[in-house]
Amino acid sequence: MEIQKNILLSEYTTIGLGGPAAYFIDFTDTENVKEIIEYVNENKMNFIVFSGGSNIIFPDRGFDGLVLKINNKGVKTHDDGNYFYAEVNAGENWDEFVRYIIESGYSGIECLSGIPGSAGATPVQNVGAYGQEVKDTIMNVTALDRRTLEEITFDNNECGFGYRTSRFKERDKDKYIIVKVLFRFEKNKQPEIKYSELQKVIDSQDNYYSLTSIKEKIKSIRDNVLKLREKKSMLINPDDTNSRSCGSFFTNPVLNESEYDRFKVLIKDLNVPVYKTGDEYKLSAAWLVENSGFVKGFKKGGVGISSKHSLALININGTTDELLAFSSEIEETVEKKFGIKLKKEPVVVSENS
Ligand SMILES: Cc1cc2nc3c(=O)[nH]c(=O)nc-3n(C[C@H](O)[C@H](O)[C@H](O)COP(=O)(O)OP(=O)(O)OC[C@H]3O[C@@H](n4cnc5c(N)ncnc54)[C@H](O)[C@@H]3O)c2cc1C
CATH number at residue 271: 3.90.78.10
> Is the residue at 203 inside a domain?
yes
State the Cα–Cα distance between residues 293 and 270, nearest whole angstrom.
Answer: 15
* pLDDT-based confidence at residue 308 (cuts at 50, 70, 90): very high
pLDDT for 313 equals 98
Using the Cα atoms of residue 111, residue 276, residue 197 and residue 285 in order, give the sign of their dihedral: negative
DSSP label at residue 251: P
Do residues 151 and 283 both lie within one domain? no
State if residue 70 touches ligand 1 by the CB under 6 angstroms criterion: yes
From the CA of 49, how far away is ligand 1's center (Å)? 12
Separation CA 167–CA 164 (nearest Å): 11
C-alpha distances in angstroms, 191 versus 131, 185, 245? Answer: 11, 11, 30
- Estimate to the nearest angstrom the gap between the alpha carbon of 109 and the chain centroid: 14
Domain total of the chain: 3
pLDDT-derived band at 29, boundaries 50, 70, 90: confident
For residues 60 and 103, membership in a common domain is answered with no
Residue 80: how many CB atoms within 10 A of its CB?
9
- What is the per-residue burial (b if ≥16 Cβ within 10 Å, else e) of 30-58? beebeebbeebeeeeebbbbbbbbbbbbb
Q: Measuring from atom 10 of ligand 1, which residue has the nearest CA?
A: 127
User: What percentage of the chain reaches a pLDDT higher than 90?
Assistant: 86
Domain boundary among 196, 231, 266: 231
Q: How far apart are CA 111 and CA 220, in angstroms?
A: 10
**What percent of the chain has pLDDT above 70?**
99
Is the pLDDT reported for residue 269 higher than 70? Answer: no
Instruction: Compute, in angstroms, the gap from residue 140 CA to the centroid of ligand 1.
Output: 18
Same domain as 87, residue 65: no
Residues annotated as part of the active site: 164, 248, 345
Residue 353 forms part of a structural domain: no
Kindly state whether residues 204 and 84 are assigned to the same domain.
Answer: yes
Better pLDDT: 353 or 28? 28
Give per-residue pLDDT as tens, 120-149.
999 999 999 999 999 999 999 999 999 999
Residue 196 and residue 255 share a domain? no
In whole angstroms, what is the distance from residue 181 CA to residue 124 CA? 11
Range of the domain at 31: 4-70
Sign (positive or negative) of CA dihedral 65, 324, 132, 53: negative
Beta-carbon contacts of residue 12 (< 8 Å; ≥ 6 apart)? 18, 50, 53, 69
Residue 337 belongs to some domain of the structure: yes
Distance 122 CA to ligand 1 centre (A): 6
pTM value is 0.96
